[in-house]
Structure 1
Amino acid sequence: MREINPLSFKLLERIYRQSRYHQVSQRAHFLILASQGVKIEELLQIFNVSYKTTYNWINRWESKGMLGLYNRPGRGRK
């Protein structure tokens, strides 16, 4: 995972604490903990998600940045 600059880190903390959307808050919290050196095995237990899910979160963060935290349009029940 690429290093998170201080400005992005502050924004992630703000999103984690103030987001209206649980999934976005959860992803921001995951990235904060991962950047602080928490091992993936521990994160899997903390967030109760699969390895593939964490892999997807990291890839979306690296490719899209902050926009990668949010769900894409068209997801969920129609």
Structure 2
Amino acid sequence: MCEHHSSRRARMRAFALIQSHNGYTIKKIAAMFDVHRQAVAYWIDRWEERGLTGLFDEPREGRPLKL
């Protein structure tokens, strides 16, 4: 359950942004976190547009997962 917690995901995104700042390519960062490179590009875009709040997941519609 902890692996999908919003705080964990925000920390992961923050670390990815630090790696980007340190010169890592989007492709390399995507490989580090085993995500698609478009996801990393989206994280960077959200950071540039929204700052800190861009690191957190947006509310989703529907019933929350129980597990």
TM-score by length of 1: 0.66
Deviation at 1:44, TM superposition (A): 1.4
Distance 1:40 1:52 in 2: 8
| Alignment pair present for 1:47 and 2:33 | yes
Aligned length: 58
Deviation at 1:39, TM superposition (A): 1.6
Deviation at 1:37, TM superposition (A): 0.5
Residues 26 and 41 in structure 2, CA contact (< 8 A), matched pair in contact too:
no
* Correspondence for 2:9 among 18, 23, 26: 23
Residue of structure 2 equivalent to 1:74: 60
* Correspondence for 1:35 among 21, 38, 61: 21
Measured on the aligned residues, the alpha-carbon RMSD in Å equals: 1.6
Runs of 4+ deviating beyond 2 Å: none
Paired-residue identity, %: 29
Distance 1:40 1:56 in 2: 10
